[in-house]
Structures are given as C-alpha cells and as structure tokens.
Amino acid sequence: MSGGGIFDRVATHLDAAADPEAHFSMASLLSLSDEERAVVRDIMRADSPQSVAQVAETLKVSVNDVASTVGSLSMRGVIEIRKGSLYLTPIERPHHSHPGGFWNNLNDF
C-alpha cells in the first residue's frame, strides 16, 4: 500500500499522460460553426487521415469551401495539415483535483 492512496495515483497517472501542447478541448467544439463542426466530425470519424478533397466528397460540398474551413481551423490550432492529410490537434483533458479531507484517509480503498 502506498501512502498517497488511489486518488493520488490516478491523478498522477492522468497528469503524466497529459500533453502540455494540447490546447483544443471537446468543449471547444461547441464554439465552432456548423460547417467547422461538420469538418471536425468527419476527420474524427474517419478510419484513416483524410485529404481536403475526401472531406469535401464525404460532406458533399465544394473543395474550396472545405479548404477555407480547414484553413480557419488550422489557424486556430484545431486541425493540423501534414503531407496533405488532416489531423486533429491533441485534445486537452480536464485536470482533476485531489479530493482531500476524508478521502485522503481511505488510502487504497
């Protein structure tokens, strides 16, 4: 048994897995326009990295419209373009604080 308890170990594990570069969160999706949200959703659901043309075909909109939307999302750090393929940036995980008080006394329960 460790002195820190299960909550400390879980929080330490989550903190270690957190990406310090992440700045896009799932809550950020709510602030996107419908067109932007559709592009992000398509990229998230795709089995493999998509090109602008593939996203346009899936969404049944023009390549120019998707390219404009992707450019806007890229400038805001939501999407990365690597070798012609679209990727979401790492999504930030919410930070969990230690419960403290009574819970610290439970240790490994």
Please report where in the chains the tokens 């896009």 appear, as a residue: 24
Backbone phi, then psi, for 87, in 5-degree steps?
-135, 145
Q: Burial code of 67-79, b = ≥16 C-beta within 10 A, e = fewer?
A: eebbebbeeeebb
| pTM score of the predicted model | 0.62
How confident is the model over 64-92, as pLDDT tens digits?
999 999 999 988 888 999 999 999 887 66
Report domain extents, the chain: 24-92
- Domain covering 24-92 assigned CATH 1.10.10.10 in the classification: yes
pLDDT of residue 42: 95
- Section 47-65 average pLDDT: 95
